[in-house]
Protein backbone atom coordinates (compact mmCIF):
# COMPACT_ATOMS: atom_id res chain seq x y z
CA UNK A 1 0.00 0.00 0.00
CA UNK A 2 2.86 2.43 0.68
CA UNK A 3 3.69 3.07 -2.99
CA UNK A 4 0.05 3.67 -3.85
CA UNK A 5 -0.32 6.11 -1.02
CA UNK A 6 2.80 8.05 -1.90
CA UNK A 7 1.40 9.04 -5.27
CA UNK A 8 -1.67 10.69 -3.81
CA UNK A 9 -1.95 14.28 -2.78
CA UNK A 10 -2.17 14.94 0.94
CA UNK A 11 -4.89 17.50 0.39
CA UNK A 12 -7.72 15.03 1.03
CA UNK A 13 -9.24 14.77 4.49
CA UNK A 14 -9.12 11.03 5.11
CA UNK A 15 -6.80 8.14 4.45
CA UNK A 16 -9.74 6.06 3.22
CA UNK A 17 -10.38 8.57 0.44
CA UNK A 18 -6.84 7.97 -0.80
CA UNK A 19 -6.41 4.20 -0.49
CA UNK A 20 -7.65 2.08 -3.42
CA UNK A 21 -10.03 -0.67 -2.34
CA UNK A 22 -7.91 -3.13 -4.30
CA UNK A 23 -5.03 -2.54 -1.85
CA UNK A 24 -7.16 -3.89 0.98
CA UNK A 25 -8.44 -6.80 -1.14
CA UNK A 26 -4.91 -7.76 -2.18
CA UNK A 27 -3.86 -7.81 1.47
CA UNK A 28 -6.85 -9.96 2.42
CA UNK A 29 -6.05 -12.31 -0.46
CA UNK A 30 -2.49 -12.75 0.80
CA UNK A 31 -3.68 -13.30 4.37
CA UNK A 32 -6.13 -15.97 3.28
CA UNK A 33 -3.70 -17.85 1.03
CA UNK A 34 -0.78 -18.16 3.44
CA UNK A 35 -1.05 -20.98 5.96
CA UNK A 36 0.99 -19.86 8.95
CA UNK A 37 -0.39 -17.46 11.52
CA UNK A 38 2.85 -15.40 11.72
CA UNK A 39 2.63 -14.74 7.97
CA UNK A 40 -1.04 -13.74 8.21
CA UNK A 41 -0.20 -11.43 11.09
CA UNK A 42 2.68 -9.85 9.19
CA UNK A 43 0.57 -9.04 6.11
CA UNK A 44 -2.11 -7.37 8.21
CA UNK A 45 0.44 -5.47 10.28
CA UNK A 46 2.22 -4.21 7.14
CA UNK A 47 -1.07 -2.84 5.80
CA UNK A 48 -1.94 -1.29 9.16
CA UNK A 49 1.50 0.29 9.59
CA UNK A 50 1.34 1.84 6.12
CA UNK A 51 -2.10 3.26 6.91
CA UNK A 52 -0.89 4.77 10.18
CA UNK A 53 2.21 6.27 8.56
CA UNK A 54 0.16 7.91 5.84
CA UNK A 55 -2.38 9.08 8.43
CA UNK A 56 0.35 10.79 10.46
CA UNK A 57 1.78 12.49 7.35
CA UNK A 58 -1.67 13.56 6.17
CA UNK A 59 -2.74 15.05 9.50
CA UNK A 60 0.60 16.39 10.69
CA UNK A 61 0.24 19.09 13.37
CA UNK A 62 -3.57 18.81 13.29
CA UNK A 63 -5.53 18.47 16.53
CA UNK A 64 -8.74 16.55 17.27
CA UNK A 65 -8.40 14.37 14.14
CA UNK A 66 -11.33 11.97 13.74
CA UNK A 67 -9.86 10.15 10.75
CA UNK A 68 -8.86 6.59 11.68
CA UNK A 69 -8.44 2.99 10.51
CA UNK A 70 -12.17 2.45 11.02
CA UNK A 71 -13.18 2.54 7.30
CA UNK A 72 -10.87 -0.43 6.71
CA UNK A 73 -11.53 -2.19 10.01
CA UNK A 74 -15.30 -2.25 9.49
CA UNK A 75 -14.68 -4.12 6.22
CA UNK A 76 -12.21 -6.52 7.85
CA UNK A 77 -14.55 -7.24 10.81
CA UNK A 78 -18.00 -6.75 9.22
CA UNK A 79 -19.65 -9.07 11.76
CA UNK A 80 -19.15 -6.37 14.40
CA UNK A 81 -21.11 -3.81 12.39
CA UNK A 82 -24.50 -5.53 12.39
CA UNK A 83 -26.50 -2.31 12.69
CA UNK A 84 -24.44 -0.12 10.33
CA UNK A 85 -23.94 -2.90 7.80
CA UNK A 86 -27.34 -4.64 7.68
CA UNK A 87 -27.73 -5.49 4.01
CA UNK A 88 -30.49 -8.10 4.05
CA UNK A 89 -28.65 -9.85 1.22
CA UNK A 90 -27.91 -13.55 0.94
CA UNK A 91 -26.20 -15.71 -1.67
CA UNK A 92 -29.35 -16.47 -3.67
CA UNK A 93 -30.20 -12.78 -4.08
CA UNK A 94 -26.66 -12.04 -5.21
CA UNK A 95 -26.75 -14.94 -7.66
CA UNK A 96 -29.96 -13.67 -9.26
CA UNK A 97 -28.56 -10.14 -9.38
CA UNK A 98 -25.38 -11.27 -11.13
CA UNK A 99 -27.36 -13.35 -13.62
CA UNK A 100 -29.48 -10.30 -14.45
CA UNK A 101 -26.65 -7.77 -14.62
CA UNK A 102 -24.34 -10.01 -16.63
CA UNK A 103 -27.21 -11.11 -18.88
CA UNK A 104 -26.37 -14.78 -18.30
CA UNK A 105 -28.65 -17.46 -19.81
CA UNK A 106 -30.65 -18.77 -16.84
CA UNK A 107 -30.08 -22.38 -17.82
CA UNK A 108 -26.43 -21.75 -18.75
CA UNK A 109 -23.44 -23.24 -17.00
CA UNK A 110 -22.36 -20.08 -15.15
CA UNK A 111 -25.87 -19.17 -14.00
CA UNK A 112 -26.37 -22.66 -12.61
CA UNK A 113 -23.00 -22.44 -10.83
CA UNK A 114 -24.15 -19.30 -9.03
CA UNK A 115 -27.60 -20.60 -8.18
CA UNK A 116 -26.36 -24.05 -7.11
CA UNK A 117 -23.22 -22.85 -5.35
CA UNK A 118 -23.66 -25.42 -2.58
CA UNK A 119 -23.66 -28.35 -5.00
CA UNK A 120 -20.20 -29.76 -5.79
CA UNK A 121 -19.34 -30.62 -9.37
CA UNK A 122 -16.35 -32.30 -10.95
CA UNK A 123 -14.53 -29.00 -11.53
CA UNK A 124 -16.06 -27.02 -8.70
CA UNK A 125 -13.84 -27.58 -5.66
CA UNK A 126 -15.18 -24.51 -3.85
CA UNK A 127 -18.69 -25.88 -3.25
CA UNK A 128 -20.44 -23.75 -0.62
CA UNK A 129 -18.09 -20.79 -1.10
CA UNK A 130 -20.30 -18.45 -3.11
CA UNK A 131 -17.69 -15.68 -3.25
CA UNK A 132 -15.10 -17.98 -4.82
CA UNK A 133 -17.54 -19.36 -7.39
CA UNK A 134 -18.67 -15.84 -8.28
CA UNK A 135 -15.02 -14.85 -8.74
CA UNK A 136 -14.47 -17.43 -11.49
CA UNK A 137 -17.75 -16.46 -13.20
CA UNK A 138 -16.88 -12.75 -13.03
CA UNK A 139 -13.20 -12.92 -13.91
CA UNK A 140 -13.58 -12.86 -17.73
CA UNK A 141 -16.40 -10.31 -17.57
CA UNK A 142 -15.14 -7.59 -15.19
CA UNK A 143 -12.66 -4.77 -15.10
CA UNK A 144 -9.05 -5.85 -14.75
CA UNK A 145 -8.43 -3.01 -12.27
CA UNK A 146 -10.98 -1.53 -9.88
CA UNK A 147 -11.59 2.21 -9.69
CA UNK A 148 -12.94 2.74 -6.15
CA UNK A 149 -11.31 3.86 -2.93
CA UNK A 150 -12.12 2.34 0.46
CA UNK A 151 -14.17 5.44 1.28
CA UNK A 152 -16.25 5.08 -1.90
CA UNK A 153 -16.89 1.40 -1.23
CA UNK A 154 -18.11 2.23 2.27
CA UNK A 155 -20.39 4.92 0.85
CA UNK A 156 -21.98 2.43 -1.54
CA UNK A 157 -22.31 -0.22 1.17
CA UNK A 158 -23.91 2.31 3.53
CA UNK A 159 -26.36 3.14 0.77
CA UNK A 160 -27.21 -0.55 0.38
CA UNK A 161 -27.75 -0.87 4.14
CA UNK A 162 -29.88 2.29 4.43
CA UNK A 163 -32.03 1.44 1.45
CA UNK A 164 -32.47 -2.11 2.70
CA UNK A 165 -33.70 -0.76 6.04
CA UNK A 166 -36.15 1.50 4.18
CA UNK A 167 -37.23 -1.48 2.00
CA UNK A 168 -36.22 0.37 -1.19
CA UNK A 169 -35.11 -2.70 -3.12
CA UNK A 170 -34.69 -0.80 -6.38
CA UNK A 171 -32.11 1.51 -4.78
CA UNK A 172 -30.37 -1.46 -3.15
CA UNK A 173 -29.95 -2.96 -6.62
CA UNK A 174 -28.75 0.39 -8.01
CA UNK A 175 -25.99 0.70 -5.38
CA UNK A 176 -24.90 -2.89 -5.93
CA UNK A 177 -24.81 -2.28 -9.67
CA UNK A 178 -22.49 0.70 -9.16
CA UNK A 179 -20.20 -1.44 -7.05
CA UNK A 180 -20.15 -4.30 -9.54
CA UNK A 181 -19.46 -2.15 -12.58
CA UNK A 182 -16.53 -0.33 -10.94
CA UNK A 183 -14.68 -3.25 -9.33
CA UNK A 184 -12.60 -6.19 -10.51
CA UNK A 185 -13.47 -9.84 -9.93
CA UNK A 186 -10.99 -10.01 -7.05
CA UNK A 187 -12.55 -6.99 -5.37
CA UNK A 188 -16.04 -8.40 -5.84
CA UNK A 189 -15.00 -11.68 -4.23
CA UNK A 190 -14.08 -9.75 -1.08
CA UNK A 191 -17.08 -7.46 -1.35
CA UNK A 192 -19.33 -10.52 -1.34
CA UNK A 193 -17.62 -11.82 1.77
CA UNK A 194 -17.99 -8.46 3.48
CA UNK A 195 -21.68 -8.35 2.61
CA UNK A 196 -22.15 -11.92 3.87
CA UNK A 197 -20.02 -11.03 6.96
CA UNK A 198 -17.67 -14.00 6.63
CA UNK A 199 -14.20 -13.23 5.28
CA UNK A 200 -12.73 -16.71 5.83
CA UNK A 201 -9.31 -15.24 6.63
CA UNK A 202 -8.19 -17.91 9.03
CA UNK A 203 -7.43 -15.40 11.80
CA UNK A 204 -9.77 -14.64 14.66
CA UNK A 205 -11.37 -11.39 15.68
CA UNK A 206 -9.27 -11.49 18.84
CA UNK A 207 -6.06 -11.79 16.80
CA UNK A 208 -7.08 -8.90 14.55
CA UNK A 209 -7.73 -6.72 17.59
CA UNK A 210 -4.42 -7.69 19.21
CA UNK A 211 -2.49 -6.70 16.07
CA UNK A 212 -4.28 -3.35 15.97
CA UNK A 213 -3.69 -2.52 19.64
CA UNK A 214 -3.18 -4.54 22.86
CA UNK A 215 -6.20 -2.82 24.43
CA UNK A 216 -8.52 -3.01 21.41
CA UNK A 217 -10.46 -6.10 22.49
CA UNK A 218 -10.93 -4.70 26.01
CA UNK A 219 -12.18 -1.36 24.74
CA UNK A 220 -14.56 -3.02 22.28
CA UNK A 221 -15.93 -5.25 25.05
CA UNK A 222 -16.69 -2.13 27.05
CA UNK A 223 -18.03 0.15 24.33
CA UNK A 224 -19.18 -2.25 21.54
CA UNK A 225 -18.20 0.63 19.25
CA UNK A 226 -15.67 -0.33 16.56
CA UNK A 227 -15.29 3.26 15.37
CA UNK A 228 -14.42 4.46 18.87
CA UNK A 229 -11.84 1.67 19.22
CA UNK A 230 -10.12 2.75 16.00
CA UNK A 231 -10.14 6.44 16.90
CA UNK A 232 -9.01 6.20 20.50
CA UNK A 233 -6.34 3.56 19.88
CA UNK A 234 -4.87 4.96 16.67
CA UNK A 235 -1.47 5.29 18.32
CA UNK A 236 -0.25 1.79 19.27
CA UNK A 237 2.19 3.19 21.85
CA UNK A 238 -0.56 4.84 23.90
CA UNK A 239 -2.06 2.55 26.53
CA UNK A 240 -5.68 2.71 27.53
CA UNK A 241 -5.06 2.93 31.28
CA UNK A 242 -8.60 4.08 31.96
CA UNK A 243 -11.26 2.01 30.22
CA UNK A 244 -13.16 4.44 28.06
CA UNK A 245 -16.54 4.65 29.73
CA UNK A 246 -18.10 7.91 28.56
CA UNK A 247 -21.39 9.71 29.01
CA UNK A 248 -24.18 8.79 26.60
CA UNK A 249 -22.15 5.99 25.03
CA UNK A 250 -23.34 2.44 25.73
CA UNK A 251 -20.83 -0.05 27.11
CA UNK A 252 -20.95 -3.73 27.96
CA UNK A 253 -21.36 -4.17 31.72
CA UNK A 254 -19.47 -6.81 33.70
CA UNK A 255 -21.63 -9.92 33.93
CA UNK A 256 -21.94 -12.44 36.74
CA UNK A 257 -20.65 -16.01 36.53
CA UNK A 258 -22.03 -19.13 38.19
CA UNK A 259 -20.00 -19.97 41.29
CA UNK A 260 -19.81 -22.87 43.72
CA UNK A 261 -20.98 -21.42 47.01
CA UNK A 262 -18.63 -23.73 48.90
CA UNK A 263 -15.60 -22.42 47.02
CA UNK A 264 -16.24 -18.67 47.11
CA UNK A 265 -14.10 -17.86 50.15
CA UNK A 266 -11.19 -19.81 48.70
CA UNK A 267 -11.58 -18.10 45.30
CA UNK A 268 -11.54 -14.74 47.09
CA UNK A 269 -8.32 -15.69 48.91
CA UNK A 270 -10.24 -15.53 52.20
CA UNK A 271 -10.41 -11.74 51.92
CA UNK A 272 -13.45 -9.50 52.32
CA UNK A 273 -15.94 -9.60 49.47
CA UNK A 274 -19.41 -8.34 48.70
CA UNK A 275 -22.57 -10.34 47.99
CA UNK A 276 -25.60 -8.81 46.31
CA UNK A 277 -29.03 -10.28 45.71
CA UNK A 278 -29.57 -11.46 42.15
CA UNK A 279 -32.47 -9.39 40.86
CA UNK A 280 -34.69 -10.75 38.10
CA UNK A 281 -35.20 -7.61 36.03
CA UNK A 282 -33.49 -5.94 33.09
CA UNK A 283 -29.81 -4.95 33.32
CA UNK A 284 -29.71 -1.23 32.57
CA UNK A 285 -27.26 1.65 32.76
CA UNK A 286 -28.29 5.24 33.48
CA UNK A 287 -26.28 8.15 32.07
CA UNK A 288 -27.07 11.56 33.56
CA UNK A 289 -25.68 14.97 32.66
CA UNK A 290 -27.64 17.74 34.32
CA UNK A 291 -31.22 17.43 33.08
CA UNK A 292 -30.31 15.06 30.25
CA UNK A 293 -30.65 11.30 30.74
CA UNK A 294 -30.05 8.20 28.66
CA UNK A 295 -30.69 4.53 29.40
CA UNK A 296 -29.00 1.55 27.73
CA UNK A 297 -29.53 -2.20 28.06
CA UNK A 298 -26.70 -4.70 28.56
CA UNK A 299 -26.55 -5.14 24.77
CA UNK A 300 -26.34 -1.41 24.10
CA UNK A 301 -29.95 -0.81 23.04
CA UNK A 302 -31.32 2.64 23.82
CA UNK A 303 -34.42 2.67 26.07
CA UNK A 304 -34.34 6.38 26.88
CA UNK A 305 -37.77 6.96 25.34
CA UNK A 306 -39.35 4.54 27.81
CA UNK A 307 -37.62 5.73 30.98
CA UNK A 308 -37.26 9.44 30.15
CA UNK A 309 -34.70 11.72 28.48
CA UNK A 310 -35.57 14.57 30.86
CA UNK A 311 -37.33 15.16 34.22
CA UNK A 312 -40.51 15.92 32.28
CA UNK A 313 -41.00 12.54 30.62
CA UNK A 314 -40.73 8.79 30.99
CA UNK A 315 -41.60 6.18 33.61
CA UNK A 316 -38.51 6.79 35.78
CA UNK A 317 -36.59 10.05 35.25
CA UNK A 318 -39.31 12.39 36.67
CA UNK A 319 -39.18 10.45 39.94
CA UNK A 320 -35.40 10.24 40.38
CA UNK A 321 -34.16 13.58 39.07
CA UNK A 322 -34.64 15.47 42.35
CA UNK A 323 -33.29 12.57 44.40
CA UNK A 324 -29.68 13.27 43.38
CA UNK A 325 -27.68 15.67 45.53
CA UNK A 326 -27.20 19.12 44.03
CA UNK A 327 -23.45 18.61 43.61
CA UNK A 328 -23.93 15.60 41.29
CA UNK A 329 -23.71 17.16 37.83
CA UNK A 330 -23.14 13.97 35.87
CA UNK A 331 -22.85 10.25 36.57
CA UNK A 332 -23.13 6.77 35.08
CA UNK A 333 -24.92 4.15 37.15
CA UNK A 334 -25.21 0.42 36.48
CA UNK A 335 -28.08 -1.56 37.90
CA UNK A 336 -31.24 -3.56 37.41
CA UNK A 337 -34.48 -2.04 36.17
CA UNK A 338 -37.31 -3.58 38.17
CA UNK A 339 -41.07 -3.25 38.48
CA UNK A 340 -42.30 -2.65 42.02
CA UNK A 341 -45.83 -3.44 43.21
CA UNK A 342 -46.63 -0.91 45.98
CA UNK A 343 -49.74 -2.87 47.00
CA UNK A 344 -47.91 -6.11 47.76
CA UNK A 345 -44.56 -4.47 48.52
CA UNK A 346 -42.62 -6.83 46.27
CA UNK A 347 -40.70 -6.73 42.99
CA UNK A 348 -42.25 -8.38 39.97
CA UNK A 349 -40.34 -11.22 38.31
CA UNK A 350 -39.80 -11.84 34.59
CA UNK A 351 -42.01 -14.91 34.79
CA UNK A 352 -44.96 -12.64 35.57
CA UNK A 353 -45.46 -12.00 31.84
CA UNK A 354 -44.70 -8.31 31.79
CA UNK A 355 -41.90 -6.22 30.25
CA UNK A 356 -40.41 -3.36 32.27
CA UNK A 357 -39.17 -1.80 29.01
CA UNK A 358 -42.74 -1.45 27.75
CA UNK A 359 -44.71 -0.67 30.89
CA UNK A 360 -47.72 1.55 30.22
CA UNK A 361 -48.42 4.80 32.07
CA UNK A 362 -51.59 3.64 33.84
CA UNK A 363 -49.95 0.48 35.22
CA UNK A 364 -50.33 -0.17 38.94
CA UNK A 365 -46.65 -1.10 38.98
CA UNK A 366 -43.86 1.41 39.52
CA UNK A 367 -40.52 1.52 37.66
CA UNK A 368 -37.62 1.10 40.06
CA UNK A 369 -33.90 1.32 39.23
CA UNK A 370 -31.85 -0.75 41.68
CA UNK A 371 -28.31 0.65 41.49
CA UNK A 372 -25.42 -1.67 42.29
CA UNK A 373 -22.44 0.05 40.67
CA UNK A 374 -21.15 3.59 40.09
CA UNK A 375 -18.94 3.96 36.99
CA UNK A 376 -18.52 7.74 36.92
CA UNK A 377 -19.35 10.77 39.07
CA UNK A 378 -18.70 14.37 38.01
CA UNK A 379 -16.35 13.31 35.20
CA UNK A 380 -14.32 11.07 37.54
CA UNK A 381 -14.16 7.55 36.05
CA UNK A 382 -14.24 4.78 38.62
CA UNK A 383 -14.11 1.63 36.49
CA UNK A 384 -10.66 0.62 37.68
CA UNK A 385 -11.26 1.44 41.34
CA UNK A 386 -12.03 -1.37 43.78
CA UNK A 387 -15.72 -1.57 44.62
CA UNK A 388 -14.96 -0.54 48.21
CA UNK A 389 -13.42 2.71 46.96
CA UNK A 390 -16.25 3.73 44.69
CA UNK A 391 -18.67 6.20 46.23
CA UNK A 392 -21.69 4.35 47.59
CA UNK A 393 -24.94 5.34 45.96
CA UNK A 394 -26.12 6.83 49.25
CA UNK A 395 -23.67 9.70 48.66
CA UNK A 396 -25.40 10.49 45.40
CA UNK A 397 -28.94 10.79 46.66
CA UNK A 398 -30.66 12.42 49.60
CA UNK A 399 -33.05 9.62 50.59
CA UNK A 400 -34.87 6.57 49.34
CA UNK A 401 -34.03 3.93 46.77
CA UNK A 402 -33.18 5.22 43.33
CA UNK A 403 -36.19 4.79 41.15
CA UNK A 404 -38.94 4.67 43.78
CA UNK A 405 -41.92 6.90 43.10
CA UNK A 406 -42.42 9.64 45.66
Q: Could you give the angle at the alpha carbon of 270 between the alpha carbons of 267 and 271, nearest 5°? A: 105
The Cβ-side half-sphere exposure at 250, using a 13 Å CA radius, reads 17
The answer to whether residues 331 and 376 touch, using CB atoms and an 8 Å cutoff, is yes
Helices (H), 263-336: 264-267, 304-307, 317-320
Q: Which of 253, 337, 254 is nearest to 300 (CA)?
A: 253
* Given the residues 278, 288, 294, 325, the one annotated as active site: 278
Chain centre distance of CA 118: 30
Active site residue 278: yes
Asked if residue 164 lies in contact with residue 36, where contact means CB atoms within 8 angstroms, the answer is: no
Secondary structure class of 128 (helix, strand, coil): coil
Q: What is the DSSP string of 355-397?
A: -GGG--TT-SSEEEEEEEEEEEETTEE-TTS-GGGSPPGGGGB
Q: Which neighbouring-strand residues pair with 292?
A: 289
Longest dimension (CA), the chain: 77
Cβ burial of 305 (10 Å; 0-12, 13-18, 19+) is exposed
CA distance linking residue 5 with residue 54, whole number of Å: 7
H/E element, 115: helix 109-115
Cα 134 to Cα 328: distance, rounded to the nearest angstrom: 59
40-62 in b/e burial notation, b at 16+ Cβ within 10 A?
bbebbeebbebbbebbeebbeee
Active site (catalytic) residues:
278
Amino acid sequence: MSSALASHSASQLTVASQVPFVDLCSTLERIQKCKSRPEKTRYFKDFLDSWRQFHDALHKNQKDVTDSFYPAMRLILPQLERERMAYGIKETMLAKLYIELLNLPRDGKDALKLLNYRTPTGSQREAGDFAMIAYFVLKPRCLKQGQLTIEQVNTFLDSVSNNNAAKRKDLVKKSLLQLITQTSALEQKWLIRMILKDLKLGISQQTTFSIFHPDAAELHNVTTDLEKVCRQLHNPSVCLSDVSITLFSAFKPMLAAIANIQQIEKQMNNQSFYIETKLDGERMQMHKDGDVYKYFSRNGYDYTQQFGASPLEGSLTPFVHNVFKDNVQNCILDGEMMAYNPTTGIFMQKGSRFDIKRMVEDSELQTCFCVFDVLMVNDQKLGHEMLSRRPPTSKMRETGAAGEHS
